[in-house]
Structure 1
Amino acid sequence: MSVSLPYWRLSGFYFFYFALLGATAPFFGLYFAHLGFSAERIGELVAIPMLMRCLAPNLWGWLGDATGQRLAIVRIGALCTLLSFGLIFFDKSYAWLVLVMALHAFFWHAVLPQFEVITLAHLREEAAHYSQIRLWGSIGFIVTVVGLGALFERVSLDVYPVAIMMVMAGIVLSSIWVPNAQPEQRPETAGQGGFLRQLCRPGVLAFYVCVGLMQVSHGPYYTFFSIHLEALGYERGIIGLLWALGVVAEVLLFLVMAALLKRFSLRLVLVTSFLLAALRWILLGTLADHLLVLLLAQLMHAATFGSFHAAAVHFVQRSFGHRQQGQGQALYATLAGIGGALGALYSGYGWTSLGPTWVFAIASLAALAAAAIMVIPLHKRRT
């Protein structure tokens, strides 16, 4: 990679940003259960930040493309995330937590799509090396999930909001350290048109539908995986390590992702990710009480998140002109948010009535549907 690339500054931001995901995805459900909420209310609270991804990324993405002030949006979003989450110390009622979850997520989801554009602008023609920077986000996730898992075996979950605030402060500080960069002013392809015209190409629309389905399939995992394992008798420290194992597999995948993308098409990587996701959810829903099966399922996180996300970011970059990059990445985040929210909601309402096996089976069907949709354009291109 280029010696002028601010590798550690970019990597540091990803470290703290995804450390926050490591502090929230595995533990929000446990924390809300600790506060005494039912599975339905837990599903609703976890869905709120995902629903904010339906609004926030597009608004901030449009603003970033219109003004070019993407780094300012990242810094303001990081600071407002910290300040708005601090409201949790005033009350723990359901209505107040709805406000806290919605407000902090509105600003949090402003951050990553704009930062992805900045990172790719720094990389320019070396975009295949994106994964080598993004892997530090996975490392941040691992450090946080293992550390908090061990912490909550020793102390009460009452300290959880303090831990969250410390990670958010890290995001704010790291955003100040990052230098700015603008996407390369590439000549527009003849007939390329504006954002909507580029979006309406069949292959691009199919991709975004698959993004939503993939995140629907992740709903039970991000909402109830920790609760599921605790009900099966696993200790919180072990649960943290299992979350970390999945992200370790993701890190190892990121290390070789540049080589994989040179050898295989983006579409093939995406289809493979969807199929492995379908298998993973079946294993978690039926055989999670067997540790070896659980370990195998967690290793599949390399595909269900790692290869999927890396290929998706590249797909968006290749599908839109430089004036639409922010909106393209924002729409990716939005569809992921819609899918994630639907996944959290259906799993919340079905967790008690249907049980984990059927909830994860529905997740598997969503991933299979994404694979089928993506295979259709692949078949047409071969004929």
Structure 2
Amino acid sequence: MTAPSGFSVTSGAPPFFAARIALVFCAPMMVNGIALPFFPVWLETLSMNDSQIGIVLALPMFVRVFTAPLAGILADRIGERAVVLLWSGLLSLATALALFATGSFWPVLLLYTLQGAVYSPYLPITDAIALSGVRRWNFDYGKMRLWGSLAFIVSTMTGGWLAGLYGGAMVLPAMAVAFLLTVLGALIVPKIGKPRRPSPITAIATMPADGSLRQRDVQFMLIGASLVSASHAMYYAFSVIHWQKLGFSGTDVGIFWSAGVLAEVILFAFAVQLRRRFSVWSMMIFGSLVAVGRWILFPMEMGFGGYFALQCLHALTFAIMHISVQSRLVERVAEEQEAAAQGLYFFYTGIFTAAATFVSGYAYNWYGVAGFYLMTIVAVAGLVCIIAGRFVAPPAGPQPQSAASGG
């Protein structure tokens, strides 16, 4: 195998493939950089209570678990995934503009759920196109995806600065601009024709009835890692609201969120070294334990430095978990079930996170920041599942798929 080509020209690939994909990754991550931290702040300006905010945030998560695979199937079958990407961007922009005309719970719930449905396939399909470039022309996925993380940091920092100036009123205009960028991204994305393998999100609807994906240790691992990911639900929904109540500025909030993503990027950069030094089970168990500790500490008032340090733990509560899951799937799941494995991981994470977000709205409404202790319970449940997976896992050694797929 030749060395990854990064951003260099590769024979047979569309012109500037890697650079174009890097730019396309930036668009949805800029949407997320505004929506994840600050959309709940806008909801609060509409005088919604915490329970209503939880419902508005949770329902689109339930919906996208089912709409993203359907869009993925459509994208794989029509022969050019960029077409679905364009429609996703256009319809998402339309819903973002329609939100300007709303101001009460039910219209916002309807439009934001619709936005979740039409926006759900954008990032997974971008991932699928990028991975096709990796398989066909040996591009470096990490170098392309890194620019999306950097765009998220820029978007979050800019959103924090704007929130300090204009409060929640800045959220809808910023989201509309970001969705406009998704349309532009869909126009410049490389056209590579019909995929040779199905996109991972299509596999939820096409998962085989048997095979290596059904192994108990794999199932325990996927459920456990998804539960640990879902334990972040209250953080995504109410951390900014909580920090603002403590008197932190919009710029402070932007720094907190950016610190978490930057720590995540740094850990990804050293992923290979970590994988060589530690087993995937050790990393997952450690990451789960850190998640438990993170949500125990979060309700305590720690000042700027304390919250900054706590945010850096995101590298261990999310990034190290994701790296470990992907590494273990390579070891335990046959190549022909690769897409199904990624689809099932997406499904578990989406369902558990949606449920945790729904519950977190009521927990925050009833108990305030003490509701984060409920997220500790979710993380403990994930830890138990991962330990169970480690207990039933077969001894390390060559796996059945190695002969056919290269391991």
Please give the range of the TM-score, normalised by the shorter of the 2 chains: 0.7 to 0.9
The question of whether the paired residues in 2 share the 8 Å contact of 1:40 and 1:349 is answered with yes
CA distance in 2: counterparts of 1:114 and 1:321, whole angstroms? 22
Structure-to-structure mapping, 1:301-380, within 5 angstroms: 301-313=314-326, 326-357=339-370, 359-380=371-392
| CA positional deviation for 1:172 | 1.8
Task: Identify the residue that residue 190 of structure 1 maps to in structure 2.
Answer: none
The question of whether the paired residues in 2 share the 8 Å contact of 1:135 and 1:254 is answered with no
The question of whether the paired residues in 2 share the 8 Å contact of 1:113 and 1:333 is answered with no
The question of whether the paired residues in 2 share the 8 Å contact of 1:149 and 1:240 is answered with yes
Deviates more, 1:228-237 or 1:195-204: 195-204
Structure 1 157/249 Cα, relative in aligned 2: closer, same or farther at 3 Å? same
The question of whether the paired residues in 2 share the 8 Å contact of 1:135 and 1:255 is answered with no
Task: Identify the residue that residue 125 of structure 2 maps to in structure 1.
Answer: 114
Structure 1 197/26 Cα, relative in aligned 2: closer, same or farther at 3 Å? same
Structure 1 172/318 Cα, relative in aligned 2: closer, same or farther at 3 Å? farther
CA distance in 1: counterparts of 2:208 and 2:330, whole angstroms? 13
CA distance in 2: counterparts of 1:235 and 1:92, whole angstroms? 25
The question of whether the paired residues in 2 share the 8 Å contact of 1:131 and 1:257 is answered with no
Structure 1 60/207 Cα, relative in aligned 2: closer, same or farther at 3 Å? farther
2:102 is aligned with 1:88: no
Structure 1 72/261 Cα, relative in aligned 2: closer, same or farther at 3 Å? farther
- 1:55 alignment partner, SS class: helix
CA distance in 2: counterparts of 1:313 and 1:82, whole angstroms? 32
The structure with the larger Rg is 2
- 1:306 alignment partner, SS class: helix
| CA positional deviation for 1:97 | 0.5
- 2:164 alignment partner, SS class: coil
2:372 maps to a residue whose letter is: F
2:237 is aligned with 1:226: no
The question of whether the paired residues in 2 share the 8 Å contact of 1:210 and 1:374 is answered with yes
| CA positional deviation for 1:73 | 2.5
2:216 is aligned with 1:205: no
| CA positional deviation for 1:269 | 3.3
2:187 is aligned with 1:176: yes
Structure 1 61/360 Cα, relative in aligned 2: closer, same or farther at 3 Å? same
- 1:37 alignment partner, SS class: coil
Picking from 267, 275, 279, the partner of 2:293 is 279
CA distance in 2: counterparts of 1:126 and 1:365, whole angstroms? 44
CA distance in 2: counterparts of 1:196 and 1:265, whole angstroms? 29
Structure 1 369/244 Cα, relative in aligned 2: closer, same or farther at 3 Å? same
| CA positional deviation for 1:326 | 4.9
CA distance in 2: counterparts of 1:116 and 1:310, whole angstroms? 16
1:329 maps to a residue whose letter is: Q
Task: Identify the residue that residue 157 of structure 2 maps to in structure 1.
Answer: 146
TM-score, scaled to structure 1: 0.87
Picking from 10, 13, 38, the partner of 2:24 is 13
CA distance in 1: counterparts of 2:27 and 2:43, whole angstroms? 23
| CA positional deviation for 1:336 | 2.0
1:55 maps to a residue whose letter is: F
1:375 maps to a residue whose letter is: I
2:256 is aligned with 1:242: yes
CA distance in 1: counterparts of 2:117 and 2:197, whole angstroms? 30
| CA positional deviation for 1:238 | 0.8
Specify every segment of 5 or more residues in structure 1 that has no aligned partner in the other structure, as ranges: 187-192
Task: Identify the residue that residue 229 of structure 2 maps to in structure 1.
Answer: 215
Picking from 59, 62, 86, the partner of 1:48 is 59
Note the alpha carbon deviations across 1:224-253, whole angstroms, 9 max, x for none.
Answer: 001111122212221111111111111212
Percent identity of paired positions between Structure 1 and Structure 2: 26
| CA positional deviation for 1:295 | 1.7
Structure-to-structure mapping, 1:98-113, within 5 angstroms: 98-113=109-124
1:149 maps to a residue whose letter is: G
2:208 is aligned with 1:195: yes
CA distance in 2: counterparts of 1:184 and 1:18, whole angstroms? 26
Structure 1 323/171 Cα, relative in aligned 2: closer, same or farther at 3 Å? farther
| CA positional deviation for 1:324 | 5.5
2:321 maps to a residue whose letter is: F
TM-score, scaled to structure 2: 0.83
| CA positional deviation for 1:323 | 6.4
Note the alpha carbon deviations across 1:336-368, whole angstroms, 9 max, x for none.
Answer: 2212211211111011322322x2122122122
CA distance in 1: counterparts of 2:305 and 2:152, whole angstroms? 23
1:304 maps to a residue whose letter is: T
Specify every segment of 5 or more residues in structure 2 that has no aligned partner in the other structure, as ranges: 199-205, 397-407
Task: Identify the residue that residue 403 of structure 2 maps to in structure 1.
Answer: none
- 2:311 alignment partner, SS class: helix
1:284 maps to a residue whose letter is: F
Number of aligned positions between the proteins: 375
